[in-house]
Amino acid sequence: MMSSMVACSGPSASEKASASFHNSVSAARDALFEEAKVTNQGFFDLDESLGLAGGVTELPAEMDQYVMGNARGYVENLLQMVHRDHERTAPNTKAILIGPAVYDGPKMPALAEADARAEIVIERCIDARQSPQLNAQGNPIEGSDNVLHQILFLDHDKDGKLKIFETTSGKVDSCPLAA
């Protein structure tokens, strides 16, 4: 008889506190993911526009709102190489951004430090099959029309913005994320 009374009385104070804590952690995680989505989209759009423009000699200040650290260096080096080699993304095309999703795949020992520092780790795919890179002569660069699976490590910078500070990527036959 006593157990049925307990069952009818609703959750205990500790159960309510646990549920409240779980909901606040979940809400904070959701807010962080929403912030990561904004960073991801802004970075993708700016990177695409710079590729269409033929790269850069110097990374524009606008990019600093999306990347920092190693990721900034990777992006700058790649866009400078595109500029130096007179390459560009094929005109009137745009790669397709798939994702992001919170990354919950296997840990990568080589990126253990980045993983420990990251507030959130996301994954995405860039489908450039209809948006190849062109060489100086205007011909498609072999292998530039591919699908990349990328893992992005994000942390808040001293300016308070969530930024990508480390990345890893690899070509895949198909994106492991749902389109």
Spell out the domains of the chain, with CATH numbers in brackets.
25-172 (3.10.450.50)
- Stretch 85-112: mean pLDDT: 94
Decide: pTM greater than 0.85. Answer: no
* Digit-coded pLDDT (tens) for 158-167: 999 999 999 9
> Which residues, including other chains, have CB under 8 Å from residue 80's CB and lie 6 or more apart?
55, 56, 57, 58
pLDDT bin (cut points 50, 70, 90) of residue 1 is very low
Q: How far is CA 85 from the centre of its chain?
A: 27
pLDDT bin (cut points 50, 70, 90) of residue 100 is very high
* Digit-coded pLDDT (tens) for 27-79: 878 999 999 999 999 999 999 999 999 999 999 999 999 999 999 999 999 99
